[in-house]
Amino acid sequence: MDGVNKRKSWEHGRLMKKLVHTREISIRSFDLGDHSILVEGTLVDHGYGQRHDDASEGPELVHHMVIRLKVKGPGMLIEQAEAAMPHHPRKECPEALPSL
């Protein structure tokens, strides 16, 4: 392919870019008293302009996953764990929950 027909990725020395995906990971910890804490982790994925009809350039929620751990100190023993998928793109996605 010659230089004229190549997809242009640079313009005026700056990279042309289009946002297609974001992943946000957050971890929050809560004091439960009695030397215990609750650690809650969340993962949220958004896709942008990924629909086949290209009807939307805005964010589309792809994944929303949550894991919670009850941890007892001072030995940092995990006493309880639970996971949830409030949003997922495929019906079989929750099959992964037991491994979490």
Q: What average pLDDT does this structure show over 1-24?
A: 66
| Average pLDDT over all residues of the chain | 85
Q: What average pLDDT does this structure show over 12-24?
A: 82
**pLDDT the model gives residue 24:** 98
Q: Tokens 């009695």 belong to which residue? A: 34
Residue 1 pLDDT exceeds 80: no
Residue 22 pLDDT exceeds 90: yes
Polymer length of the chain: 100
Do residues 83 and 99 touch, judged by C-beta distance below 8 A? no
Which residues pair with residue 58 across a beta bridge?
A: none
pTM for the model stands at: 0.72
**pLDDT the model gives residue 42:** 98
Q: Where are the domains of the chain?
A: 21-99
- Tokens, residue 18: 């289009």
